[in-house]
Amino acid sequence: MITVTIKGPDLAAAAMSANVRIEANSEIALDTVSSATEGDAKAECPVRTGELRDDIKTYRAKLLRQIGNNKFYAPFVHNGTYKMKGRPYLLNAFNKNSGSLIPEIQRLGT
């Protein structure tokens, strides 16, 4: 029987290394999935002049991606009004792509 015990700084160094790898792979996976989500949102966005579609952007922060518009009328188009049915292009794009984040992180980890 062989027994290996790792104590002290060796274990801490291994944990830190794993954490750095997981975080880096998560950033890459977030970029991949958010890029696909932004593309799907642009493809589904209703177009009259193209301004709303062209305004869809991905905003990055550490381990966070936010996709949306800055046009004041974006929520009215997306959610609808009492006169107009909503066209939820952002929500539909999110629903289409959200399930691929964990598999993408796992793929990168192999």
Looking at residue 20, its pLDDT comes to: 84
- pLDDT greater at residue 84 or residue 22: 84
Q: Is the pLDDT of residue 40 over 80?
A: yes
Crossing angle of the two packed helices 101-108 and 9-44, in degrees rounded to 10: 140
Phi first, then psi, for residue 5 (nearest 5°) are -120, 125
Q: Which residues pair with 80 in a beta bridge?
A: 85
